[in-house]
Amino acid sequence: MSLYSKRGVSAQKEEVHAAIQNLDAGLYPYAFCKMYPDYLGGDEGYVNISHADGAGTKSILAYLYWKETGDLSAWRGIAQDAIAMNLDDLLCVGVCDNILFSSTIDRNKSLINGDIIKEVIEGTQAFFDTMKGFGVHIHYLGGETADVGDVVRTIAVNGTMTARWRKDRLITNEKIRSGNVIVGFASYGKASYETDYNSGLGSNGLTSARHDVLNKHYANHYKETYENSLSNEVVYIGKNSITDTLHIDGTTHTIGKLLLSPTRTYAPLMKILLNEYFENIYGVIHCSGGGQTKCMKYLPGPFKIVKDNLFEIPPVFQLIQSNSGADYKEMYQVFNMGHRLEIFTDEKTADKMIAIAASFNIEAKIIGRVEASATKSLQLKGSFGEVVY
């Protein structure tokens, strides 16, 4: 059993998928987001989408960072995490404008004060203001903030995005075919619209990242940050503290800031790609929960996906792996490992997309391809060897 499973979490969410298997899959079963007829407007040419997601356990890292340093700024990043995990899922089906957002914040009031709530809410609006400058309009409808200390140990920051979108401007993944190439867009670095270096971690696998990297100091002093029934062997087993530093490309970063890097949104980039190359975008995947295996869930047929030109593993993932000793098969299934967005297209369009990404200072390249197959499978190849799912 993996460390991830021993901590009571699952990259594949098998029990969740079992629970929802009898629910309506929506109009497009292979699309990244579930879509329904236009119940809001009654127009057969439109669909309705309502999508919920959040920052997950990353908020616990913000809590630890704040308690150890007194720095409130990490909470603005948590606001961005909750938004980007919604927004970038919607981007995968083509939705890139005129979106409604409602937040849900559950807190333990005895531990999480009003200054933190203010940072999250103001951080949410600040992110929307930034996106507006790139033509991505997200309307903040407020939401629910509840004091539920009996339920939540610290704080949970989540949200729901809703959109009404034209059917003829949807990406449903039904066009994915043998011969497509896959363009990967880096999750790390510093995009032109980001203020700091982004480690690329995003908001998936944070339970492992936190427990694998940080040391027993956090188990002993912050018991509110983990399930106390877990074995001591899987709780904060790392070597590092939040204030330890790591040198990357000549600059110094604290471990805490690397783990807390706000989830990169690809919205400014995707807005252009969807406007200019819509007809040549055959499928889009957000490598979130499930990491590099996420694409398998949305294939419209028994294709073989080969990813044999992956990005070099960014330092934050090297740090996690060196602390945990996890094998590459688990690492690539839990984390994005270097790119969180992938687009299925043709080679000619791929080159144009890569050039546009470079204009945003986002590294991009063809990381793989789609091959004909009798069964659905995924093959990863790199300096680490070969991993098959």
pLDDT at position 312 over 80: yes
Quickly count helices (H) and strands (E) in the chain.
12, 14
The answer to whether residue 238 sits within a structural domain is: no
**Closest listed residue to residue 303, CA positions, set 206, 165, 182:** 182
The answer to whether residue 343 sits within a structural domain is: yes
Number of domains the chain is built from: 1
The verdict on pTM exceeding 0.85 is yes
The answer to whether residue 209 sits within a structural domain is: no
> pLDDT tens digit string along 202-252?
999 999 999 999 999 999 999 999 999 999 999 999 999 999 999 998 999
> pLDDT tens digit string along 333-362?
999 999 999 999 999 999 999 999 999 999
> pLDDT tens digit string along 42-55?
999 999 999 999 99
> pLDDT tens digit string along 257-286?
999 999 999 999 999 999 999 999 999 999
Name the CA dihedral angle for 190, 100, 342, 377, rounded to a multiple of 10 degrees.
140
CATH number, position 156: 3.30.1330.10
**Structural domain of 159:** 3-196+260-388
pLDDT at position 16 over 60: no
The answer to whether residue 224 sits within a structural domain is: no
Joined together, the tokens standing for residue 55 give 């920052």
The answer to whether residue 253 sits within a structural domain is: no
pLDDT of residue 212: 96
pLDDT of residue 19: 63
With bands split at pLDDT 50, 70 and 90, how would you rate the model's confidence at 24? Answer: confident
The answer to whether residue 236 sits within a structural domain is: no
Contact, 120 vs 78, CB < 8 A?
Answer: yes
Residue type, 21: Q
CA distance 329 to 287: 15
The answer to whether residue 254 sits within a structural domain is: no
Rounded mean pLDDT, 12-27:
66
Contact, 130 vs 206, CB < 8 A?
Answer: no
Residues 6+ apart with CB under 8 A from 291: 11, 204, 205, 331, 332, 333, 334, 335, 336, 337
> pLDDT tens digit string along 283-294?
999 999 999 999
Give percent of the chain with pLDDT exceeding 70: 94
Rounded mean pLDDT, 123-132:
98
The answer to whether residue 220 sits within a structural domain is: no
Joined together, the tokens standing for residue 170 give 């949807």
pLDDT of residue 14: 62
